[in-house]
Amino acid sequence: MRILLYNPDNGVTHNFMPHLWMFLLQSLTPPGHEVVLIDGNAQPMDEESIARYVREQNIGLVGIGAMTRMIAKAYRMADAVRAVGVKVVMGGPHVTEMADEALGRDGGSRHADAVALGEADETWPRIVEDAVRGTLKDVYAPVDDFGQERKPSLQPYPEIPWDKIKLEQFNLLPGIVHPLLKRVGTGWGTFRIIPVESGRGCPYGCEFCTVTGFFGDSIRFRTNESVVNELLLLKARARGEGGQIAVFFIDDNFAINVKRTKSLLRDIIAANAQVHWVAQISANLLRDEELVDLIAAAGGKWIFIGMESIDPANLADVKKGFNKPGEYAVVLDRLARRNVLAITSFIFGMDNDTPGVAERTMKEIRTWPPGLPIFGLMTPLPGTPLYKKLEAAGRLTRPKHWQEFIPFAMAHTPLKMSIDEAHHEVRIGWASSYSPEAIEKAVDSLNHKPLGYRINIFIARLCFRGIYFPQMGRFAWLKSILDNRRTIFKLIRQGFGGGLHAAAPSVATEPVREQRH
């Protein structure tokens, strides 16, 4: 059977990275089937084109995965596939919480023939076999023989054949510059960000987050060896195609067990398996100097930190009191000293937020080493304690906000400000961090740092800008480049001043080069 795994686009930004679930399920598919992957963010498709594709390519089963944010599109695509008589299985965090919605048991129309609840590593082979036999069930739950929930162990972990998988759709460098870069021989013919997981689960249970409910509070890790081998495979691929590969460790809290993270990082260094990577780590775990040393030595370049708020009352309210705003500056300094950039994520519209929260937060941010701040709104995702709390209090203004997804729009009223005021605060956060002046200031303030580091933050800021300000298409990009020309000229001037090699952005794959930054 030919199986199509499809991830819908989010309609707002191009995702910079493919989704791991597709590669994982592809690797876990029983032999004898061909699995095709389409990520709508890289290869946009509408209802008509997916229906045509499925018919022309003789697809026998379509698997669709989506976050809440993309679910409306996922349902429309599923409907189009089912309309041509092909079965659809859906999985992922949204349908796990809202299986009745996907199966049309809540009074709405049916979108999926089957739903895979939770982690599907062990149920997927069964789903495929049932689909072949024509005995697809409505619901597949990850349970043992006694009906008890069973979380898949990550030991052993499937080998994803990164050396052979077609990744053309995920090259982040615009096609127009490929031939040029290849000719220059800079090792920049391609640039991809690849998702790798080293473990699953986070026990912290923050109120707005789906992770503890979905993956459970039992943390599971792959063996160091299996992670290291995957990195080596990716590194070899990058070298083989004369390109660059960076890795996104998608673990929700990469250092949740500090001892184990240190041992993994030491093994990465020992095996010379460093590639440049990004990982999510909560601020409290970055108190450990040795951990931060190892992060830098093992290729860590960007650390995503869910800071959420600078107000301890807000943090306590969402059960994230382990974040201590008083230590944010120290943590960020510690990373900056090792040339590791922090992606600091904030949520506005929390219950203790009042108008002016963006400016208060920005004032704090300006005292930190420049990084990549991002701003979102408190969003009640289905199945979270936050959703239940707001629902019980009758505070949801759009209880099924995913049916008509609007980017950066609240679905409930915060306690101390209006919805419009919260939207305004987010706009201020983005505008004051990503205006050409703000970008120039950030890059200028890093004049004492290696040029590669400054280019890194400049390019990252341009890309991150697109999370909020529409930046799809060539013209939007050209405009953005034009608006930031002053900073670009400055960097070019410094590049020529310091010799061309100093100008190489810091996504090198050789550890020798890494030492330099």
Single out the segment in contact with ligand SF4 by CB under 6 A; choices: 179-187, 204-212, 265-273, 496-504. 204-212
Residue pair 90/73 in contact (Cβ under 8 Å)? The answer is no
Cβ contacts of residue 17 below 8 Å, gap of 6+?
A: 170, 193, 194, 195, 248
Residue from 69, 222, 334, 454 binding ligand B12 (CB under 6 A): 69
Kindly write out the interface string for residues 380-399 of this chain, putting x where it contacts ligand B12 by CB under 6 A and - elsewhere.
-x------------------
Kindly write out the interface string for residues 236-275 of this chain, putting x where it contacts ligand B12 by CB under 6 A and - elsewhere.
--------------x-x-----------------------
Burial call 26-50: b when 16+ CB within 10 Å, e when fewer: bbbbeeebebbbbbbbbeebeeeeb
Single out the segment in contact with ligand B12 by CB under 6 A; choices: 119-127, 288-296, 444-452, 475-483. 119-127
Single out the segment in contact with ligand SF4 by CB under 6 A; choices: 76-84, 197-205, 338-346, 358-366. 197-205
Instruction: Specify burial of residue 179 (Cβ count, 10 A radius: 0-12, 13-18, 19+).
Output: exposed
Residue from 211, 298, 331, 457 binding ligand SF4 (CB under 6 A): 211
Closest CA to 285 of 312, 324, 318: 324
Does residue 300 interact with ligand B12 by CB under 6 A?
no
Does residue 456 interact with ligand SF4 by CB under 6 A?
no
- CB of 205: closest distance to ligand SF4 in angstroms? 5
Does residue 273 interact with ligand SF4 by CB under 6 A?
no
Residue from 209, 341, 350, 438 binding ligand SF4 (CB under 6 A): 209
What is the footprint of ligand B12 within residues 180-209 (CB under 6 A)?
Answer: 195, 197, 209
60 or 216: CB nearest ligand SF4: 216
Does residue 341 interact with ligand B12 by CB under 6 A?
no
Kindly write out the interface string for residues 124-153 of this chain, putting x where it contacts ligand B12 by CB under 6 A and - elsewhere.
x-----------------------------
Location of structure tokens 């005292």 = 367
Does residue 21 interact with ligand B12 by CB under 6 A?
yes
Amino acid at 445: S
Residue pair 320/350 in contact (Cβ under 8 Å)? The answer is no
160 or 286: CB nearest ligand B12: 160
**Angle 321-325-67 (CA atoms, 0-180°, nearest 5)?**
60
Distance separating alpha carbons of residues 164 and 10, to the nearest angstrom: 27
Does residue 205 interact with ligand SF4 by CB under 6 A?
yes
Does residue 285 interact with ligand SF4 by CB under 6 A?
no
Instruction: Specify burial of residue 156 (Cβ count, 10 A radius: 0-12, 13-18, 19+).
Output: exposed
DSSP track, 260-317: HHHHHHHHHHHTT---EEEEE--GGGGG-HHHHHHHHHTTEEEEEEEEE-S-HHHHHH
Cβ contacts of residue 193 below 8 Å, gap of 6+?
A: 16, 17, 170, 172, 245, 246, 247, 248, 278
SS3 at position 344: strand
Does 156 sit behind a cis peptide bond, omega within 30 degrees of 0 on the bond before it? Answer: yes
82 or 222: CB nearest ligand SF4: 222
Does residue 92 interact with ligand B12 by CB under 6 A?
yes
What tokens appear for 361 in the block?
Answer: 């937060």
Cβ contacts of residue 280 below 8 Å, gap of 6+?
A: 249, 250, 251, 252, 253, 254, 303, 304, 305, 306
Does residue 204 interact with ligand SF4 by CB under 6 A?
yes
- CB of 510: closest distance to ligand B12 in angstroms? 26
Q: Number of residues interacting with ligand B12: please give it, by CB under 6 A.
A: 34
**Can you name the residues that pair with 246 across neighbouring β-strands?**
193, 276
Does residue 202 interact with ligand SF4 by CB under 6 A?
yes
90 or 209: CB nearest ligand SF4: 209
Residues at the interface with ligand B12 (CB under 6 A)? 10, 15, 17-21, 24, 63-65, 67-69, 89-94, 116, 119-121, 124, 195, 197, 209-211, 250, 252, 376, 381
Residues at the interface with ligand SF4 (CB under 6 A)? 202, 204-206, 209, 211-212, 252-253, 282, 306
